[in-house]
Amino acid sequence: MKDESNSGSITRRGVLMAAAAVSAGTALQSCARPGDSAAEAPKAKSHDLDFDVVVIGGGFAGVTAARELGVDGYRVLLLEARPRLGGRTFTGKFQGKKVEYGGACVHWIQPHVFAEMQRYGKGFEEVPLVDLDATNVMLSTGEIRRISPEEFIREYDFAMEAFNARSLELFPRPYSPFFNPEVLALENVSAAEHIETLGLNEIQKATLNAEMTLYAGAPTTEYSYTSFVKLFALAAWDYYMFTDSEKHYKIADGGTLGLCKAILDHSGAEVRLGKVVSAITQEQDSVRIETTDGQVVTAKTTVITVPTKVYDSISFSPGLSNEKQAFIKNAEMCDAACMFVRFKQNIGNTFSFCDDPNPFSAIQTEYFDDQIGTIVKVTLARQSLIDINDQDAVKKEMKRLFPNVDIVAISSYNWATDPFSRQGWPSYRVGWFSKYKDMAKPEGRLYFAGGATADGWHEYIDGAVESGIRVGREVREALGRELGSRE
Ligand SMILES: Cc1cc2nc3c(=O)[nH]c(=O)nc-3n(C[C@H](O)[C@H](O)[C@H](O)COP(=O)(O)OP(=O)(O)OC[C@H]3O[C@@H](n4cnc5c(N)ncnc54)[C@H](O)[C@@H]3O)c2cc1C
């Protein structure tokens, strides 16, 4: 991370908690809090162990799981590798403006994240997506078509409707994605193959392929067609609703970080930041968790929420099932990064799609006025197509679309190379959509969450929250059975 983001900052609460954790070592700590009625009626505890539950990862899946179990009175420890919370969401500052370097947009059609926003009193903040002044399409060849917003929307709308024409038929119940068995039969169809059947014109094809590359974080030949259609179905099988849900509203009142902290604060969990889990060993009645700084904690159960591609960096004993190992190795491929660029000039409200293999997949105005000029957000589906640390290369690429601007500042975050994500958003490789259930399945005392394991909005914050709620239920049931029988 460069420029002005707060990547290195540790919250005051985090510092206090990390300090407390160091001085207390592995001491027992109750998470019951005065005034919390759920916590005032604690369940039977596993007092020979440090915690009832250790949650690994402080993204939305992890904080939700911690909250679900913490408010039930269980003793929860959350271990987070980075010195900050939020995981693949990251509220920062660029040129004095609040920006989101990771997951950003949310919507009331996404039920889990919306419920959390309601619970903690967070509103919506609008991104200037409507009333566009200018729209551009860069074809895969690099040629640019500067078309009116009306034409852009018409052509893109047509292509999206065509791509998702079977969404209601295939996904009448999107949260049971294989309710229609034909979805399984289409498991090996890639987005690229499906696009080829649609008979689209140049602009339709370029905008649709750029969008699918964005969702894939990879060439569309690698992306699962049906997994995207499921996302579309979740937005009431409707083009307008889907588009509104993906790029129009952010979380107000502290951004994603504000919501993440609100959920975690409610949990009463102990939090240790900067703790990289390196080994997880299941013993007969407990789990032993080791961090790279040599600390060990024990718990009845462990919830793992790290991104799929990070699992390889943790040693599991006994090893994970063959099905999980196969999912970890093959199922995801998102090579994404995010960048903010400030132009001196106010170029207004713009949106551009650049078809693969151009590196800047989508460029969207975030702020514009005569004082700031313009701040655009660039989403790179395939960061390996350009060196985002090479400012000259970035400027040159940007000037292809906006030749007359002066670039004042650039700030980027590379999710694909960050050791604690190793990927962008969760996207399924063709042939792997139906296997996400393998990743979600408990193994002994280990429970698994994270966006990739969600039934619903798996590429979104909403899916992460959904998975945290599901895993909370699984652990609650298991602990209730086990600890209840020891009374
Ligand atoms: C650029 C970008 C744009 C996106 N845009 C949107 C959007 O607009 N809307 C939307 O809803 N979603 C969006 N997403 C997706 C969304 O942000 C993620 O799907 C979601 O945040 C994932 O949450 P998670 O809890 O499953 O995983 P994560 O947030 O990745 O949480 C996992 C946590 O585990 C920690 N960890 C990793 N290894 C270890 C270890 N060894 N020990 C301890 N901790 C460890 C990580 O540091 C991390 O905090 C975007 C994502 C990216 C990257």
pLDDT digits (tens, 9 = 90+) for 251-262: 999 999 999 999
Say whether both 60 and 162 belong to one domain. no
Of 6-15, 125-134, 192-201, 397-406, the range with the lowest mean pLDDT is 6-15
Say whether both 261 and 371 belong to one domain. no
Pocket of ligand 1 (CB under 6 A): 56-62, 79-82, 87-89, 102-106, 276-277, 305-307, 310, 313-314, 336, 338, 415, 420-421, 424-426, 450-451, 460-462, 464
pLDDT for 327 equals: 98
CA–CA separation, 299 vs 282, rounded Å?
Answer: 10
Say whether both 316 and 436 belong to one domain. yes
Of 390, 414, 438, which closes a domain?
414
pLDDT for 352 equals: 98
Which residues pair with residue 137 across a beta bridge? Answer: 145, 353
In a domain, 36, yes or no: yes
Q: Which two tokens stand for residue 178?
A: 């294989």
Best of 54, 55, 85, 89 for a ligand 1 pocket test (most atoms within 8 Å of beta carbon): 89
In a domain, 437, yes or no: yes
Quote the percentage of the chain above a pLDDT of 70: 90
pLDDT for 48 equals: 76
Q: Is pLDDT of 215 > 60?
A: yes
- List the domain range (segments joined by +) for residue 467: 12-87+253-332+427-485
Best of 425, 427, 439, 447 for a ligand 1 pocket test (most atoms within 8 Å of beta carbon): 425
Residue type, 82: R
pLDDT for 422 equals: 98
pLDDT for 47 equals: 59
Task: Give the pLDDT mean for 466-487.
Answer: 86
Q: List, for residues 20-60, the tens digit of each pLDDT value.
A: 332 222 222 233 332 333 334 344 445 579 999 999 999 99
pLDDT for 149 equals: 97
Q: Is pLDDT of 454 > 50?
A: yes
155: left (phi over 0), alpha (psi -120 to 50) or beta: alpha
Say whether both 395 and 438 belong to one domain. no
| 478 alpha carbon, distance to own chain's centre | 27
Say whether both 146 and 201 belong to one domain. yes
Residue of the CA atom closest to atom 20 of ligand 1: 461
pLDDT for 163 equals: 98
Using pLDDT thresholds of 50, 70 and 90, give the confidence band for residue 269.
Answer: very high
pLDDT for 471 equals: 98
Q: For position 141, which CATH number holds?
A: 3.90.660.10
Residue closest to 137 by CA, chosen among 73, 204, 88, 86: 204
CA–CA separation, 453 vs 430, rounded Å?
Answer: 16
Of 27-36, 80-89, 287-296, the range with the lowest mean pLDDT is 27-36
Q: Is pLDDT of 400 > 90?
A: yes
pLDDT for 306 equals: 98
Say whether both 161 and 294 belong to one domain. no
In a domain, 79, yes or no: yes
Q: For position 66, which CATH number holds?
A: 3.50.50.60
Say whether both 453 and 474 belong to one domain. yes
Helix axis angle, 461-485 relative to 111-119, nearest 10°?
80
Is 330 within 8 Å of 449 (Cβ atoms)? no
Side-chain-side CA neighbours of 367 within 13 Å: the count stands at 19
Task: Give the pLDDT mean for 266-293.
Answer: 98
- Give the position, in ligand 1's atom list, of the atom nearest the Cα of 420: 37
Residue of the CA atom closest to atom 7 of ligand 1: 103
Task: Give the pLDDT mean for 271-278.
Answer: 98
Helix/strand/coil for 486: coil
Say whether both 25 and 132 belong to one domain. no
Q: Is pLDDT of 130 > 90?
A: no
Maximal CA-CA distance, the chain:
73
Which residues pair with residue 144 across a beta bridge? Answer: 138
CA–CA separation, 149 vs 129, rounded Å?
Answer: 11
- Pick the more confident residue, 24 or 462: 462
Say whether both 311 and 179 belong to one domain. no
The secondary element (H helix, E strand) that includes residue 365 is strand 362-369
pLDDT for 21 equals: 31
Using pLDDT thresholds of 50, 70 and 90, give the confidence band for residue 403.
Answer: very high
- Distances in Å between the Cα of 96 and the Cα atoms of 3, 9, 409 are 11, 16, 12
Q: Are strands 350-354 and 134-138 parallel, antiparallel or unpaired?
A: parallel
80 marked as part of a ligand binding site: yes
401-347-425-101 Cα dihedral, nearest 10 degrees: 120
In a domain, 355, yes or no: yes
Task: Give the pLDDT mean for 120-146.
Answer: 95
Q: What are phi and psi of 285, to 5 degrees?
A: -115, 10
Average model confidence (pLDDT) for the chain?
91
Residue of the CA atom closest to atom 4 of ligand 1: 103
Full DSSP string of 173-191: STTSTTSSTHHHHTTT-BH
CA–CA separation, 428 vs 90, rounded Å?
Answer: 23
- Domains identified in the chain, total number: 2
63 marked as part of a ligand binding site: no
pLDDT for 247 equals: 86
In a domain, 365, yes or no: yes
pLDDT for 172 equals: 98
In a domain, 403, yes or no: yes
Task: Give the pLDDT mean for 212-218.
Answer: 98
Which residues pair with residue 448 across a beta bridge? Answer: 304
Say whether both 439 and 293 belong to one domain. yes
In a domain, 165, yes or no: yes
- Give the position, in ligand 1's atom list, of the atom nearest the Cα of 314: 41
Say whether both 348 and 408 belong to one domain. yes
pLDDT for 46 equals: 53
- Distances in Å between the Cα of 259 and the Cα atoms of 9, 78, 121, 307, 375 are 17, 17, 9, 20, 24
Say whether both 377 and 285 belong to one domain. no
Output the CA 380–ligand 1 centroid distance in Å: 16
Is 137 within 8 Å of 415 (Cβ atoms)? no
